[in-house]
Structure 1
């Protein structure tokens, strides 16, 4: 399954967060690095938990809590997550 990551460019790095995995923040010096590390960071974040159902991009953008923090400069990328590869309690 894929989760949507919202990506922002900072002054010295790229930052991403996954609205469907609260608290899951990801950073990278470059956009390429951010995209490479995102699946591992997401898997570590969800380890030991039942993964939440991912929403579509349209559903995420319709979420008022997400929409109020967007300024139009963000990028969006899918982040692959394989629940079979992550241990849950």
Structure 2
């Protein structure tokens, strides 16, 4: 499975979350650290769902960028 993750830079750290897995979040000092931590959080989240006998949510979110030209 391939889940979209959102990484946001805060004033003192980076945060990440998974839109398709509510409550699956991570915080790290750097973007690389938060990527590693959210990867681990996703694995633990999915393991927990399976242990509880729940279905794994299918990945549904998509991401993209839109270019906005700045006015001169």
Do the aligned residues in 1 keep the contact of 2:16 with 2:26 (CA within 8 Å)? yes
**Whole-angstrom CA distance in 1 between matches of 2:48 and 2:31:** 28
Q: Which structure: larger Rg?
A: 2
Q: 2:20: which partner in 1?
A: 20
Q: 2:59 aligns with which of 54, 61, 67?
A: 54
Residues matched between the structures, number: 59
Identify the structure with bigger relative contact order (alpha carbons < 8 Å, sequence gap 6+).
1
State the alpha-carbon separation in 1 of the partners of residues 38 and 14 from structure 2. 12
2:52 corresponding residue in structure 1: none
**TM-score, normalisation: structure 2:** 0.71
Aligned ranges 1:5-16 → 2 under 5 Å: 5-16=5-16
Q: Which ranges of structure 2 fall in alignment gaps of 5 or more residues?
A: 50-54, 65-72
TM-score by length of 1: 0.59
Whose strand proportion is higher, 1 or 2?
Answer: 1
| TM superposition shift of 1:45 | 1.6
- How far apart are the structure 1 equivalents of 2:48 and 2:34? 23
